[in-house]
Chain A
């Protein structure tokens, strides 16, 4: 009988696939949206290089120093600075080839070193890019703060610096060296006020047990949380076919042929599980394609997803049985899913939630078992064994399916209509 009902629902889906396709498009859109927000270079989970055009209209020694700094150390790792003319820089920003243009204005060095009036950089951000321009803005603000600090603390030395920079011909390296020594002395004297050694650290490098690179992908950490929420929404959408059967009176017709409702509810749960599994493939597969996530143990992951699918479908069927009408379900389901997701750590990692949630509530929530099991599988942690999480989800899911069937049958026998 179960098979007959499943075939019937699959035929219905084949004749009218749009509701199902839209359901599956939801996680696809969400995954794509995340990809768009974090940009195409987010593949691999790292920050990637931010392309910046620098237009140096000042062309002085100080601006050369700033330009040089951008090609060194951590800056070089994260910044790909191109030194261009103003027109070429604007052309590249219009062509969406760079994230921003930094313009060092003419007379920058003189004005800065004389300290007579404020001087400003110009930063033109590319609105077509995601969050890279915002990072560049932050970096420029840091640089401006640094330059301000230098100007205020080394005010007495600035005329000497100005003289060195404005001297014609080759830079006076001896003069620069003397000035550098004086600056160094000042910093050395101020060191214990500026950097009191309250906390120390020792740097050491741990030998790698095995190659872990892709497992540390930040999106592999974020995706299970979001998946838990959207998979519940998917299960909710799929299980709503129960209401459609009630309003179309086909459920009544079924009940004139069979007095037990359990097979009917099970058939809907299986359908919802299938939708959840397809949604998972879209989301987690999308994670591989868009973020370069390398899922560590796909088989174990599949078991956890299946178990979560059963839980989600059973849970939504139970709420459907309690709500008794699609209108009421519309009002409560979204709130319930959002609350569960919040407590389980879909929005913020559960460890960052207040102690009441983190220590007492979150560990009781099935979404949390799912999220933590997937994260543990990915990171190799053993604090949440996936098999135990899957077992709990399976048992709870089965219990909810039986409870949903019982509550639904009871409500219908009393004559309550959806």
Chain B
């Protein structure tokens, strides 16, 4: 069952098209990763879904109903974790949780009980009474997520929730999010970390310059490259022009071409050794050839012509 449907979302800020015809859906129990570099349009998309921004065009349906026809209903269903730590630093972790719980419509008793549960789940019960300003970055991030969970949302929007924290804290948060997905929540998770998308998300949408370039499961996305293996040729390729090589385009797909490196995949399912022989016969001086499994970065590379890490 689809809890979030996004169709044709567009948003322009002056001359900048922050989102252009963005379409995807997130089902219950699914973690959908929106992967893209900084400035790709992830936050704009999540802001339009959560009602912070009005889209110029397109529709957002939450649990089958249009968001803007009944925002209050949609807001009850969803929990939003902003990219920045949106907490009152003077208040304690518990006070923050209780405040946002009350604002989400819980009674005083419900709020107290739920805050206790969330603190336990986030392993923060022993620091519940400390002011948030005294928390570490990872602890703040966890409370930041906890505030969005107070009203048990069926749909959770997480906007880069692990930015700026150490690997261990990140691993804890990822494990917590995985657990939420396993409990049946529909999760939209934006990130620019390839590893997070690869290890956490059941489906991934790749976004750049406001456009959703591709989406699917990790194997589906890898398949777009044409095979299980990528060939990386290293050498002086400055003068090389693949169009001059007879039959090359029919046999290989170019993922990336740099002055010193050429990454290609096989166009058809030929044996790697056969591909390797073809590559070594190319009229260029190749110093090294390696074989590797395609990653999300390669998919991004193929889609945008540049690496996600750039």
Which residue numbers of A lie inside 8 Å of B, CB to CB? Answer: 1, 4-5, 8, 11-12, 15-16, 248-250, 252-259, 412-415
Q: Pick the contact of A412: B11, B52, B71, B86 (CB < 8 A).
A: B52
Chain B stretch 60-91: residues in CB contact (< 8 A) with chain A: 71-72, 75, 78, 80, 82, 84-91
- Select which of A1, A252, A258, A415 is within 8 A of B82 by beta carbon: A252
Additional A-B contacts beyond A250-B86, A259-B75 (15; CB < 8 A):
A12-B88, A12-B90, A15-B90, A249-B82, A249-B85, A252-B86, A253-B147, A257-B100, A258-B72, A259-B71, A259-B72, A412-B52, A414-B53, A415-B44, A415-B47
B52 touches A15 (CB 8 A): no
From residue B129, how far is it (CB to closest CB) to chain A in Å? Answer: 12
Q: Are A11 and B53 in contact (CB under 8 A)?
A: no
CB within 8 Å for A255 and B51 given contacts A249-B86, A250-B87: yes
Least Cβ–Cβ distance between B247 and chain A, in angstroms: 51
The reply to whether the CB of B291 lies closer than 8 angstroms to some CB of chain A is no
Chain B residues lying within 8 Å of A5, measured Cβ to Cβ, are 103
The reply to whether the CB of B54 lies closer than 8 angstroms to some CB of chain A is yes
The reply to whether the CB of B254 lies closer than 8 angstroms to some CB of chain A is no
Which 9 residue pairs are nearest across A and B when measured between Cβ atoms?
A249-B86, A15-B90, A256-B80, A259-B71, A253-B86, A249-B84, A4-B102, A16-B90, A12-B90
Q: What A residues does B71 contact at CB under 8 A?
A: 259
Known: A4-B103, A248-B88, A258-B75. A413 touches B54 (CB 8 A): yes
Are the CB atoms of B88 and A253 closer together than 8 Å?
no
Q: Which of A11, A255, A259, A415 contacts B91 (CB 8 A)?
A: A11
B residues engaging A (CB < 8 A)? Answer: 11, 13, 44, 47, 50-54, 71-72, 75, 78, 80, 82, 84-91, 95, 99-100, 102-104, 131, 147
B75 pairs with A250, CB closer than 8 A: no
Separation of A253 and B102 alpha carbons in the complex (Å): 13
23 pairs from A and B in contact (CB 8 Å cutoff): A1-B102, A4-B99, A4-B102, A4-B103, A5-B103, A8-B95, A15-B90, A248-B89, A249-B82, A249-B84, A249-B86, A250-B86, A250-B87, A250-B88, A252-B52, A253-B147, A255-B51, A256-B51, A257-B100, A258-B72, A259-B71, A413-B54, A415-B44
Contact of A256 (CB < 8 Å), options: B78, B89, B91, B131: B78
- Among A8, A248, A254, A258, chain B packs the most CB atoms within 10 A around the CB of A8
- The CA-CA distance from A253 to B75 in the complex, in Å, is 11
Chain A, Cβ-Cβ closest to B150:
A257
Closest to A263 in B: B103
**Cβ of B304 to closest chain A Cβ, rounded Å:** 25
Q: Collect the chain A residues with CB atoms within 8 Å of residue B47's CB.
A: 415
The residues of A that contact B147 with a CB separation of less than 8 Å are: 253
Collect the chain A residues with CB atoms within 8 Å of residue B85's CB. Answer: 249
- Shortest beta-carbon distance from A414 to chain B in Å: 8
Residues of A within 8 A of B72 (CB): 258-259
A4 to B53, CA, bound (A): 26
Assess the A253–B80 pair: CB atoms within 8 A: yes
Taking CB atoms, residues of chain A closer than 8 Å to B89 are: 248
Q: Which residue of A lies closest to B92 (CB)?
A: A15
Cα of A105 to Cα of B90 in the assembled complex, Å: 69
Give the contacting residue for B53; candidates A248, A254, A259, A413; CB below 8 A: A413
When chains A and B are docked, how far (Å) is the Cα of A415 from the Cα of B11?
Answer: 10
B187 to chain A, nearest CB (A): 15
Chain B residues positioned under 8 Å from A1 (CB to CB)? 102-103
Residues from chain A with Cβ under 8 Å of B86 in the complex: 248-250, 252-253
Contact B51 A259, beta carbon cutoff 8 Å? yes
Neighbouring B residues of A11 by C-beta, 8 Å? 90-91, 95
Q: How far is the CB of B94 from chain A (nearest CB, A)?
A: 11
Interface centre among A249, A255, A257, A412 (most CB of B within 10 A): A257
A412: B residues at CB distance < 8 A? 52
B88 in contact with A415 (CB, 8 Å): no
Tell me the smallest distance from the CB of A19 to a CB of chain B, in Å.
10
Contacts of B84 in A (CB 8 A): 248-249
Partner of B75, one of A8, A16, A257, A414: A257
Give chain A residues whose Cβ lies under 8 Å from the Cβ of B51: 255-256, 259
Which residues of A sit under 8 angstroms from B50, Cβ to Cβ? 256
- CA of A89 to CA of B95, assembled, Å: 66
User: Once bound together, how far apart are the Cα atoms of A258 and B105, in whole Å?
Assistant: 10
CB distance from B92 to the nearest CB of A (A): 8
For A248, A249, A253, A254, the residue with the greatest tally of chain B CB atoms inside 10 Å of its CB is: A253
CB pair B80–A415 under 8 Å, yes or no, is no
Q: Which residues of B contact A16 (CB under 8 A)?
A: 90
Q: How close is A170's CB to chain B, nearest CB, in angstroms? A: 85
Interface centre among B44, B95, B131 (most CB of A within 10 A): B95
